Amino acid sequence: MPIEHGKLGSESWLSKWSFNEIVMDFCPSCGNLLLVEHAAVGRSLRFFCPTCPYVFPIERKISNKLQLKQKEVDDVLGGEEAWKNVDRTEAVCPKCTFRQAYFMQIQIRSADEPMSTFYKCCNHNCQFQWREG
């Protein structure tokens, strides 16, 4: 019988776990996420695959920590080089209220939608960036 989220009470085995101990394991047969259920006999637990017959009894604490690295994201605006030869306009910075900003317009949606305008505050102590559209 699978453990249903809405039926977990304070006496539940899962309530004893902290959020940094959440278990995620994958089926070695089909690669789907394994779920946890009470075994048919006793109070033991087991992993089971919801799409194939794979079952793995949980006999002891299983610990395998994997620290995920954040993927480096490219600056879609082109980084600092893209701001070198852009025009200025009168626009109020939402961070420092300076009244001038550099701007560039880029088509980031479909061609039938308006271009998005990106701003960068001209105040050298601020340089806040924001977008309209």
List, as residue ranges, the binding site for Zn(2+).
27, 30, 49, 52, 93, 96, 121, 126
Same fold, 5-58 and 80-132: yes
Maximum average pLDDT range among 17-26, 56-65, 88-97: 88-97
pTM of model > 0.75: no
**CA distance from start to end of the chain:** 50
pLDDT beyond 70 at 113:
yes
pLDDT beyond 90 at 124:
yes
Q: What is the pLDDT of residue 130?
A: 93
CATH fold for the domain made of 5-58: N-terminal domain of TfIIb (2.20.25)
Q: Which DSSP state fits 44?
A: -
Q: Three-state DSSP class for 5? A: helix
List, as residue ranges, the binding site.
27, 30, 49, 52, 93, 96, 121, 126
User: Which residue ranges make up each domain of the chain?
Assistant: 5-58, 80-132
pLDDT beyond 90 at 9:
no
Label residue 64 by pLDDT band (50, 70, 90).
confident
User: Exposed, middle or buried: residue 118 (CB in 10 Å: 0-12, 13-18, 19+)?
Assistant: buried
CATH fold for the domain made of 80-132: N-terminal domain of TfIIb (2.20.25)
Give, in degrees to the nearest 5, the angle at Cα 89 between 87 and 94: 120
